[in-house]
Copies of this chain bind each other. A is one copy, B any other.
Amino acid sequence: MRPAKSAPRVAVVGATGMVGRELVSLLERRRFPVGDLLPVSSGRGRSSVRFRGRDIPAAAPDPAALAACDVAFLVSSEEVARRFGPGLARRGVWVIDDSSEFRLDPGVPLVIPEVNASALGRDRRLIAGPNCTMTGLAVAGWPLHRAARVLRARVASYQAVSGAGRAALAEFFAQGRGLARALAFGRDGRAPVLRAPRARALPRAIAANVIPQVGSFDAAGCSGEESKVAAELRKVWGAPGLRVSVTAVRVPVVRGHALAAWLEFAQPLSPARARRLLGRAPGLDLLEAGDYPTPLDTAGRAPVRAGRVRSGVGSRELALWVVSDNLLKGAALNSVQIAELLLRRGWLRRRA
């Protein structure tokens, strides 16, 4: 299928990063109408992306070339978002930014299509995608919030290393290979006390370990990730009074963020009714009672997956378990879904 020359020109800034490569692959697999693809990379090394059977070299960022596109996916740093996002939007380019730079800006819609597509506007050309950890909670909790209103949420995360970027994942790979020989019982038959490998990209060794630090700590002792999840959930759900406490933990997993969540409601909500609501929620796969998703079986899949829906403390609280691929629904897929919505509304089209 060769799209008509009337299809939009699409830029991907950060195309050779982990999320960027997923995004380019999704554009092809989901048959997004791409007239021309402009992959952009600010990295020093020459690199290319594969798209529709061709290797397309990534270009250095060029404001004029970007402004000639109809939509620009920014899957890069906050600095890149600041540098290009507002300027391109003013020049009529739809900008879908996956960094945290504009997420809490009152003038910028923070959008998860299954939850708050209504936040999009014909003239709000700069759009933010959410933090990869809160996305699963936002999608799975939304039908429950609509039915019984969440007042308080406690969330413990089990976050994949790919969410920390390429250097962190490379470090995990190296540590994992290095530790493989040490994964053995001691000569005395005891479970080994492993020596922690040196860490650089992450704050501690991650292989055969878990690290309760994602980002840096504020004065109250919350990590950056924990604050993001709370603030973004309030914005996406339109629930400014929602109280959220998060413990964000990195685990030795490649792809797939998992969450153990407790949701306390204003109204009683039984596990059975919650299961019915979740069973028909868009973008969500609810596994059968007794079954549950894990990161390994969720990696590479589009939907958010949930299981273990049960009573928490008292009749107004539910506990549940949610897993989603942090590179897909947590990042690249959500951005592509936003662009698909813009197409369907006729707002995103090739300009003259």
Contacts and interface: CB of A to CB of B under 8 A. Distances in A.
Contact of A271 (B183, B204, B221, B254): B221
Interface stretch (A132-140, A141-149, A293-301): A293-301
Given A21-B188, A184-B173, A297-B196, A208 B254 contact: yes
Interface in A267-317: 271, 289-290, 292, 294-297, 299-300, 307-314, 317
Contact of A309 (B170, B189, B221, B309): B221
B254 A192 contact: yes
Interface in A145-159: 152-154, 156, 158
A4 interface: no
Given A294-B209, A296-B209, A190 B21 contact: yes
Nearest to A163: B191
26 contacts: A16-B189, A18-B189, A21-B190, A25-B190, A47-B189, A50-B188, A152-B313, A154-B313, A158-B158, A166-B185, A169-B191, A172-B183, A173-B185, A177-B183, A192-B255, A196-B296, A204-B294, A204-B296, A205-B296, A209-B253, A209-B295, A212-B258, A221-B289, A221-B310, A247-B319, A252-B252
A201 B47 CA distance: 44
A228 to B, nearest CB: 16
A209 to B, nearest CB: 4
Interface in A212-259: 212-213, 217, 220-222, 243-245, 247, 249, 251-255, 258
B220 A251 contact: no
Candidate in A22, A166, A192, A212 with the most chain B CB atoms within 10 angstroms: A212
Contacts of A190: 18, 21-22, 25
Given A190-B22, A217-B290, A247 B156 contact: yes
A352 interface: no
Contact of A158 (B169, B251, B296): B251
Nearest to A195: B296
B295 A210 contact: yes
A289 B243 CA distance: 23
Candidate in A192, A193, A220, A243 with the most chain B CB atoms within 10 angstroms: A193
Contacts of A243: 313-314
A9 B276 CA distance: 60
A153 B212 CA distance: 19
